[in-house]
Structure 1
C-alpha cells in the first residue's frame, strides 16, 4: 500500500501565506481553503496514493512543551484570517471523504512518524507531504518526504539527503541537537552553527560520538569549551528534535483509505465558498 500523509498545519500555512487574502461576497476568508485544496489535488494527481491521512496539530501543549517551557515560545499565534478558515476546511475535507487525525499532547510531526513506521512495518511505502524540513529525519527506503518549497515540491529520499547534507537521515537529529533550531526555539549548543554541527556529526557519527571523542584534535578548543559547558542543552535539544513514532493513534494504513464522504454537502459548501471550478475538479455534481 502507498500511504500519503499530509502535514496539515505546514501546508495550510503555506497556502495561506502563498496566496493573497481572498473573500467571498459576504466577507468570509477563503485563500487557505482554496490553496490547500490545490495542493491536495496536485499531490493526488502526481502520486495516486492508495490512502491519505491529513495530520493536524492540536492547541493543547505537547510533551515537548511540558519538558521545556521555551519550546516554540517565539512563534506568533495563528492569524485570525486563517483561524476562521480552519473549521470550514476541516468540514470540507470530511465531506470529501478524507480521514483527518490529531492527538492532544502530540504534534503532527509525530503522527507523520508513527504512520510512516506503521506503514513500513505493514510492507507499504509512505509519502510525507510537508514544508517542514524536520520530517527529513524520517526518510528511509520506504519513506519519502515531498518537501514543499516556494517554487516546487522536491522528493527527498535517502540519496537526496546524503547528497544535500552528507549524512544519513536519522543523523539530522544529532545535527539539530548541536546547532539548535530558531524556528522551534530549540537551544542547541550556543555558538555551534550548521556547518560545524554537520562536520562533527559527519566525523563522529552521533551526538554521543561527539562527546565520546571530545578530546579528539578534530574538535577545536573553542568548540570543546562550548560543547562541554552545554551538554545539558544538547541532550534536551536531541529529545525536542526527535520525531516520535509511537503516537497513540490508529496505525492500520487501510483505516486511511478515502471514504465516500458526503459529495452533495461538499458541492454545496464549495458553491457557498464561490469555488465553482473546484466542484468540477473534485468530480462533484
Structure 2
C-alpha cells in the first residue's frame, strides 16, 4: 500500500509542478527551477497528502501544500549543494544546479523556489484565510531561523568546532535541519482539516530523527550510485554523526525504537494511519 501511494503521490506532485512552473518564461533560472524539482522520493509531499487523506481532506486542496513543501525542499537542496555550503556536484544522480548552470543561477533558482513554496501553501484552493495563514506561518517557522536554517547553521558551525558535537547537540541540530520540514509535512493534513496536530507532531518528530539516523547509516555504508550523491562526507570531515557516537548497531537500534515511537503516536487514528506506519518503516529500510 505504502509503496504504491508514495509513487502515485510523486507523480501527482510532479504533474502539479508542471502545471505551476510550465507557464513561466523559458529562461535559465526557470529551467533550473524545473530541473531542481524533478525526481526524489517526495516523502514530504506524501506526508502532506497522506495525512490529509487520513483526515478526509479533498486531495485537490492538499496538493497545493504538498507541492509547496517539495518546492521548499528543492530550494534547500540547491542551496545546500553550493560551494559555500556542502559543495556537492551530484544530486539525485545528476549534476547539481550550480554545476549545470552556475552559482548565480543556483542562488536565484533556490530563492524563487522558496518564494514559490509560500505561494503554494497560501493558495486560495487550500481553504479559507485562517487555514492558509496557519499553513504559511507554520511553514515560515519550520523553514527559517527556528527550524531548517537554524539546523543548517549549526551544521556549518560544527565543521569548525574544537570539539565534536554531543548526541544531544546533534539531535537538536537535526531536529531543525531535517525534522522541522518533516513535522510540518505530517501536520499539514491536520491543519487543512482544522484538527488537532499533536499526535501527528509526535509521529513526525520520531520519524524525522529516524530519517536522519538512516541517512547517517547510508552515508557510512551505502552505495553512492543508488543514493545519487557523494557519500562518507561527514566521516572525511571528521564530523560527529549518530553512527560515530552510537556505532552502526546502536544507530540501527535507535532508529528502530523511533519507528516504534512513531507508530505509537498514531494510535488515535487506528487503522486509517496504517500507510503512515508503513512510511516510518520505509524510512529506516531505504537504500537511497
TM-score, structure 2 as length reference: 0.26
Structure with bigger gyration radius? 1
The answer to which structure has the higher helix fraction is 2
The answer to which structure has the higher strand fraction is 1
